[in-house]
Structures are given as C-alpha cells and as structure tokens.
Amino acid sequence: MAHITLKHALLIYKPTLYHGKKISKNFFEGWYYKTVTSKAEESLIVIPGIYKSTSHIDEESHAFIMIIRDGYECLYYRYNISEFSVENSDSMIKIGQNEFSENIIVLSLSSTRLVPSTDIEYESYVNLVVKDWEKIMGRESDSSLKTSIIKHPFTPYSVRGYISFNNTTPYPFSYSSPTVMGPFAYIPFLECNHGVVSMSHKSSGMIEFVNMKHNGIVENRIDLENGFGYIEKDWGVNFPKSWIWSQSNTFINEMEEEKSSSILVSIADFPLISPDNPLYAYLRNFLSLFNLAGRIIVFYHAKSDTTYNFSTYDFFSKIVNLEITMDDSARQYVKLHVVNTANGLNLEIDIERKAGSGIPLRAPSKQFGKMALMIEESLDAELHVKLWKSDENSKEIIFNDRAVAGGLEIVGDVMRLVNKLTTR
C-alpha cells in the first residue's frame, strides 16, 4: 500500500513547488505570471513550463517560456529538458539563464530559441476555434466568421529584464481546502491540477524587447513599476476537455490603491480519474460517474482582505445562472450568477470580449501528443463584478466595479459544459 511521504504532503500544502521531480514522462507543469501596467494600458504574460511526452526519448519533450502581449504572436522559447532545474527547496525554477519564483522573474531570452507557429499549426488552430464558435452559436458558420480571427505579426524578439512582486496574496490555507482546488487537492490521480500562487500583488521592474532583425534595437520597453500582478499554475498529464477561464485584478475604482481586488473563474469538464491511471480499466463501466463539470470561482476583496469562495466543493454554493453567447460580429458574452444559500452571499460576473482577436497559445494535448496550438487567450476582456449579501429584509452591496485588461479563454464544447452545470 502506498504511503504519503513528507515530500508528497508538502506538495499538497504548497502547490507553488515543482511537482515533476520524480516524473520522467507524461507530465506537464506551467506557471502563469500576469502583470498589468499601472494605468492598465498594457498586459504582459510570462509562462515558464516543462512538457514531458509519453515516451522517455520523444523529441517533443522540452522546457519552454512563453511571452504574451496583446497584438503580437506569442513568443515561444524552447529549451532542452536538461536546461530546466529547480533550486531553493524547489521554490525557484531556472530555464537556461531565466529565473522564476514567487517573488521575482529574471529574463534573458535569446531569439535563437524561438519556435514560431507553422502555417499548418495555425490553420488547425483556426479550425478548432471556429468549431467551438459554431457550438456556441448553435449553427454552422459561414466563411466570414473565419475572417474574424486575427493573425498577429511575428517578430523575433530577444527579451530581457526583471519583474519583482510585492505584498503577494496567497490563497488562504485550511486542511479541508489546502489549495484553490479544495478537497480535490488530495486526489493524486487527477489529469489536471490548478494552484493559485498570488491572487493580487504589486509589481516593479522593466522588460525590454530587442529586435534582432534590426541590429539589436530595443523596440519596446514595458515599465511595470506599481503594476498589478497575479500568479497561478497548472500541472498534470492533460488539459480539460473544455473550459471557461477568466481573471482580472485591475478594477477601475481601485487603480490608486495599494492592493486591488481579484476575480478568478475557472469552469471545466474533466475526468476525475485519468485514463492513464491503473484504476481506469476497472472502473470502465462507471466512467460517467467520474466525468465531472466543476468550477473554481474565487473573489478576493482587497478592502476587507477577505476571500469569497463559490466553488464546486463549497456545499452551499450554487449556480443560479450561467450563459455563454456570441453574436454575428464575434463578440462573446459570459453571464454568471452564483449564490451561497447558507449566508445569502451573491456573486454576479459579466464578461465580454471580441473573439478572434486573442493570442493563440500552445498547451499540452494528449490528442496531438505535443504542446499544440489550441487556445485563444484574450488580454483585453472586460468584466463587471458585483458581490452582495441579501436576506428577506435587506440587501448589502459589498463590491460593485468594472475590471479591464481581463484574461479570458473559452475552449472546447462549452455549451455541453454549461448544460451539465445548469441542468438539474
């Protein structure tokens, strides 16, 4: 019978650490660092990670660093597995000369490491996106909808600089809910795990983009002094079948505050038991019971330093309404209302974006057996968040504000996901 070592327990209670040290194949782990400039004029996403394919010797295994900005193709820097290392009790990772921790990022990225997407990859991505749109719209699209997808320019930038993080806000720990996944964190065989490193913090630093085609000229500098930051991560063997993900901590009425509120929405369709797990064969006749539609909905209220949780594992939290729509101009809308029936807390979130203008991202895919181009991430989604408490006699508004520079991903057959969550 397997026993839980101190190391395993530490990984449960501190999801920020690297989880793949003893895993040689069929594994991925990625850290998502989001920083928005002080006036919310520009967003910068940095995603370091590692992908280990199903074979020990598969050439698809590698470490990577993604740099994402609005209006540009994602810069994907590829490294050998041997160039990935962990230090300081697994709390800092290094990829080549680049360093990442809870407190700082140091970048020294050479354009010689870049792997741009191919025409074949991009065409496959476009077809996936249009297929997802057709499910939302409930009909086959015409060719004009495909033209809504913007192909962003690729520039072979070298990237250098640093970002430091001040006054981070970890997800609050308890033994019943050690991470943002709640008691699901204790299940060792999930296909995909999610962790929040910091819901909200301030940043400082500078990132430079050097165009190596133009004699090494610094074309762009992003000043991240007094910026807004958020950090999360994922690890496991595969991404969910379909999901809705959104995050922002740049609220209009909190731009001048020391710390900002933060909203995280992650709704996904995933198997409780991975097909790679030995138990899968024995439970084949009961798999429908283990295929879940779950949600992580967390709101951090900066003014009161309080975290409100409306996730699946909170027994009293229920979905009142969940809608996803898309019009002929390719604008997508998400409407979500959740309630805690025990304390009368209500959270209403409205999200809007122009679909097709987001950035195509690679993600681990069992279907393709590699890091495949399959996600459209928008960096300019707008969110309206309202939190209130009500009873028979009164209604107390706790928070009501609009957020900009929001992240949004809508991937896969999300209408099936909505039906699962809203059909009683």
The residue among 23 and 385 whose pLDDT is bigger is: 385
Q: Which of 244, 282, 275 is nearest to 366 (CA)?
A: 275
Q: Is the pLDDT of residue 282 over 80?
A: no
Q: Which helix (H) or strand (E) holds 280?
A: helix 279-282
78-81 contacts, C-beta under 8 A, 24 or more apart: 78/113, 78/114, 78/115, 79/113, 81/50, 81/52
Predicted local confidence at residue 290, as pLDDT = 62
The residue among 188 and 316 whose pLDDT is bigger is: 316
Q: Which of 260, 273, 159, 167 is nearest to 216 (CA)?
A: 159
pLDDT band at 3 (very low <50, low <70, confident <90, very high): very low
Rounded mean pLDDT, 386-395: 92
Q: What is the pLDDT of residues 84-130, one digit of tens each?
A: 999 877 789 999 999 999 999 999 999 999 999 999 999 999 999 99
Rounded mean pLDDT, 333-356: 98
Rounded mean pLDDT, 260-288: 75
Predicted local confidence at residue 213, as pLDDT = 84
Rounded mean pLDDT, 272-280: 65
Q: Is the pLDDT of residue 263 over 60?
A: yes
Q: Is the pLDDT of residue 4 over 90?
A: no
Predicted local confidence at residue 5, as pLDDT = 47
What percent of the chain shows pLDDT beyond 90?
79
Q: Is the pLDDT of residue 289 over 60?
A: no
Provide the whole-model pTM: 0.94
- C-alpha 312/C-alpha 310 separation (Å) is 7
Tokens 């609005």 label which residue? 70
Q: Which helix (H) or strand (E) holds 144?
A: helix 143-146
Predicted local confidence at residue 327, as pLDDT = 94
Predicted local confidence at residue 353, as pLDDT = 98
Structure tokens at 28: 């991925």
Q: Is the pLDDT of residue 29 over 60?
A: yes
Strand partners, 114: 77
Rounded mean pLDDT, 34-48: 98
Say if residues 202 and 231 touch (Cβ distance below 8 Å): no
412-415 contacts, C-beta under 8 A, 24 or more apart: 412/132, 412/240, 412/241, 412/242, 412/243, 412/269, 413/132, 413/135, 413/241, 413/242, 413/269, 414/132, 414/135, 414/136, 414/242, 414/243, 414/244, 414/324, 415/135, 415/136, 415/138, 415/324
Q: Is the pLDDT of residue 1 over 50?
A: no
Rounded mean pLDDT, 40-64: 92
Predicted local confidence at residue 98, as pLDDT = 98
Rounded mean pLDDT, 66-70: 97
Q: Which amino acid is at 421?
A: L
Q: What is the mean pLDDT of the chain?
A: 92
The CA dihedral of 148, 152, 153, 155, to the nearest 10 degrees, is -170
Say if residues 30 and 59 touch (Cβ distance below 8 Å): no
Q: Which helix (H) or strand (E) holds 7?
A: helix 6-13
pLDDT band at 2 (very low <50, low <70, confident <90, very high): very low
Q: What is the pLDDT of residues 208-246, one digit of tens each?
A: 999 988 888 999 999 999 999 999 999 999 999 999 999
Q: What is the pLDDT of residues 147-195, one digit of tens each?
A: 899 999 999 999 999 999 999 999 999 999 999 999 999 888 788 999 9
Predicted local confidence at residue 91, as pLDDT = 81
Predicted local confidence at residue 279, as pLDDT = 64
Say if residues 183 and 177 touch (Cβ distance below 8 Å): yes
Report DSSP letters for 99-138, one per residue: EE-SSEEEEEE-GGGB-PPPHHHHHHHHHHHHHHHHHHHT
Rounded mean pLDDT, 54-58: 72
Predicted local confidence at residue 285, as pLDDT = 60
